[in-house]
Amino acid sequence: MDELLIVILVLIILARATGAVMQRFGQLAILGELIIGIVVGALIVYGPLSQFSGLAENEVFGTLTTLGMFFLMLMAGMEMDVSKLVKASKTGLGVAIGGLIVPLGLGYLIGHLFLPDSSLKFAQSLFIGVALSITAVPALSRVLIELKQMDSRLGRTLMNAAIVDDVLGLFLLAVLTTILVGGGTPSAGDLGILAAKILGFFVFVFLSGKYLIPRLGKLSWVTRFDEIEFSFAMVVALTYSVAAEYAGMHFIIGALFAGMFLRENTFGPELASHLEHHVSGMTLGFFAPLFFVSIGLHLNLSALTIAPLFVVSVLLVAIVGKVVGCGGIALISQFNLKESFAIGIGMNGRGAVEIVVAVVALEAGLFNHPIPVPPVVTAIFSTIVMMAIVTTLIVPLAMKPLLK
- Averaged pLDDT for residues 296-308: 82
The band of 244, judged by pLDDT with boundaries at 50, 70 and 90, is confident
The band of 278, judged by pLDDT with boundaries at 50, 70 and 90, is confident
Mean pLDDT, the chain, whole residue set:
84
Cβ neighbourhood burial of 4 (10 Å; 0-12, 13-18, 19+): middle
Q: What is the pLDDT of residues 358-389, one digit of tens each?
A: 877 877 778 877 878 888 988 898 899 889 88
Q: Which residue has the higher pLDDT, 82 or 287?
A: 287
- Per-residue pLDDT, 104: 93
- Per-residue pLDDT, 277: 86
- Averaged pLDDT for residues 84-101: 80
pLDDT at 86 over 70: no
Q: Long-range contacts for 374-381 (Cβ within 8 Å, ≥24 apart)?
A: 374/116, 375/306, 375/307, 376/114, 376/115, 376/116, 376/306, 376/307, 376/310, 377/115, 377/116, 377/124, 378/306, 379/302, 379/303, 379/306, 379/307, 379/310, 379/311, 380/124, 380/127, 380/128
Distance between CA atoms of 399 and 387, rounded to whole angstroms? 18
- Per-residue pLDDT, 220: 65
The band of 184, judged by pLDDT with boundaries at 50, 70 and 90, is low
- Averaged pLDDT for residues 113-140: 88
Domain boundaries, given as residue ranges, for the chain: 65-286+294-404
Among residues 233, 244, 246, 240, which one has the least CA distance to residue 283?
233
Cβ-contact 185, 179 below 8 angstroms: yes
- Per-residue pLDDT, 166: 75
- Averaged pLDDT for residues 38-61: 79
Among residues 259, 291, 290, which one has the least CA distance to residue 74?
259
Whether the bond between 372 and the residue before it is cis, its omega within 30 degrees of 0, is yes
User: Is the CATH code 1.20.1530.20 the one for domain 65-286+294-404?
Assistant: yes
- Averaged pLDDT for residues 114-129: 89
- Averaged pLDDT for residues 326-354: 88
Neighbours of 51 (CB within 10 A): 9
Around 309, how many Cα atoms within 13 Å sit in the side-chain half-sphere?
A: 7
Q: Is the dihedral of CA 46, 49, 51, 56 positive or negative?
A: negative
- Per-residue pLDDT, 87: 65
